[in-house]
Amino acid sequence: MNTKIKLLFIYCCLWAFLPSRAQAQAKPNQWSPDLGNGNFKNPLLWGDWPDPDIIRVGDEFYLVTTSMHYVPGCPLLKSKDLVNWEMAGYAIDKYDEDPRYNLQNGNRYLRGSWAATIRHHNGLFYVGFCTPNWDKEKGQFSICTAKDIKGPWTRTIFPEYLYDPGLFFDDDGKVYVAHGQQKLYITELNADAKSVKTPQKEIYNNKDYPYLEGSHLYKINGKYYILGSTGGTKGRQVCLRSDHIYGPYESKVVINDDHTYPGNGLHQGGMVQLKDGSWWFIIMQDRGPIGRTPNLEPVTWVDGWPMLGIEGRGVTNFKKPNVGKTYPITVPATSDEFNQATLGLQWQWNHNPDNNKWSLKERKGYMRLHALPAKELTTARNTLTQRVQGPFSEGIVEMDINGLKDGNIAGFGVFQSPYAYIAVRKEGNTKTLLMINNGKTIDSITNFVQGKLWIKANLTHTDFLASFSYSLDGKKFIPFGNKLKMALGYDWTANRFALFNYSTKKEGEYGYADFNWFRFTGQNSF
């Protein structure tokens, strides 16, 4: 063995056993909770993955979260170790029950899937969720089933409305849903979990726990446990316990802590038992416009109560769960070169898309968005989004605008209410580069002749600011417009990166914009 080969062999051995800075630098260029030394840090996912619920099936863990009006809905993630997660699919392809999900005659912002629950029983995955009953509409409750977590999924919409549901399969074959807000109920379902067998029965009502919701139901050592959240954003986690499904229930606060993000308490989530017998809880914490982020907490059983964290406080850094193996560092996908036949699972549309007006095939290696008529961005169909992340996010797109027609506005930015973006508007034969902040033109460049440009959005959790810049060569970026002060005008729905192309013309020949790629880094280049 010559000297060079010996040195290479020694280096590889050192690399394999080195848990420090060298391997840390090999992590994906975004937030990862895995410290690479057998420990993890919270938050588990520093982005908007709200209302988590979790199960274990064999050696795999599955997590479901809320996605409201975004499509596809009910995001599903998978993990081997509870720390490293990747997308697995969605339980909902689209919402067919109301034309407003198509942004026709109104919108469905904040509707869709809320507070999802996930269970696995007799070879089937079950995902349930509610759609709120606002505007004097009757709310909905849905159950989706699939043999494979990737789908296809079949959805059943119930005539009954079960708010914040927690699905549970008892060991005697009966099926229940715990649901409600402050007043909690148990509704028995039929064996296939696709219809109600016994109407709801009130089981708990305690004014000391305002807005008690997000119920998840378990049976452990012969007792029934309902874990729920009270107090909203500032909340705490409550556990109810009984010898009988319909009660009476006694209660205990199992964590009341906000030290990792003062003012916003750990609240709402689900727990799971590992093969080694230990229990773990994934619980969310509001982090403003970045989203409601999941934290991973150990569970210690004290006098038959599942106490979260350590000595009443959520953990910051802690030893990873014991799953018997060590798995590679993995994070949900972000960047996309648009060179696959299907969209990456990181993408969701703002409301149902018109699938005839976007394509990954018309121009190979590009996402083509055909313009659809809209007054402005919030009414623009086929707006493609993905989560921003903390503590920093940088998203860049390369965009070809040679296909734009009169009335088209195509660009990239940060979407919520308020929103901001950089775009190109075509009027007649003239193109104008625009920076729009919540509907107002902040800056513009007329007679913009470039056929291709690059747009960058940078944001930080510090003061929740986003800034924007553009480039004519993909290298030198020029700051443009002003900064967006991110907020939650659509309550509880975090800010998102957004690609779009719409037309202010109601009639005529609609053009298209081609996006070559979207690239994400967890950096701050303010």
- Check whether domain 348-521 has CATH 2.60.120.200, yes or no: yes
Residue 43: is the preceding peptide bond cis (ω within 30°)? yes
Residues 457-515: pLDDT tens digits? 999 999 999 999 999 999 999 999 999 999 999 988 999 999 999 999 987 789 999 99
For residue 515, give both structure tokens.
């996006």
**Residues 6 or more apart whose Cβ sits within 8 Å of residue 417:** 378, 438, 487, 488, 489, 490
> Residues, the chain, total?
526
**Closest among 413, 386, 213, 395 to 291, alpha carbons compared:** 386
Query: Does the predicted TM-score (pTM) go above 0.95?
Result: no
Backbone angles phi, psi at 293, to 5 degrees: -100, 135
Residue 109 DSSP SS3: coil
Kindly state the greatest CA–CA separation across the chain. Answer: 79
DSSP state of 190: P
Distance from the first to the final alpha carbon of the chain: 50
Parts of the chain belonging to CATH 2.60.120.200: 348-521
Residues 215-254: pLDDT tens digits? 999 999 999 999 999 998 999 999 999 999 999 999 999 9
Parts of the chain belonging to CATH 2.115.10.20: 31-180+268-319
Residues 38 and 319 sit within 8 Å (Cβ to Cβ): yes
Q: How far apart are CA 523 and CA 469, in angstroms?
A: 15
Question: What is the residue type of 315?
Answer: V
pLDDT 10s per residue in the chain (526 long)? 444 444 334 333 333 333 333 223 334 488 999 999 999 999 999 999 999 999 999 999 999 999 999 999 999 999 999 999 999 999 999 999 999 999 999 999 999 999 999 999 999 999 999 998 776 667 999 999 999 999 999 999 999 999 999 999 999 999 999 999 999 999 999 999 999 999 999 999 999 999 999 999 999 999 999 999 999 899 999 999 999 999 999 999 999 999 999 999 999 999 999 999 999 999 999 999 999 999 999 999 999 999 999 999 999 999 999 999 999 999 999 999 999 999 999 999 999 999 999 999 999 999 999 999 999 999 999 999 999 999 999 999 999 999 999 999 999 999 999 999 999 999 999 999 999 999 999 999 999 999 999 999 999 999 999 999 999 999 999 999 999 999 999 988 999 999 999 999 987 789 999 999 999 998 765 4
The CATH number given to 31-180+268-319 is 2.115.10.20
Q: How far apart are CA 421 and CA 467, in angstroms?
A: 9
For residue 48, give both structure tokens.
């908007």
**Residues 6 or more apart whose Cβ sits within 8 Å of residue 456:** 394, 395, 396, 468, 469, 470, 471, 477, 525
Q: How far apart are CA 266 and CA 260, in angstroms?
A: 9
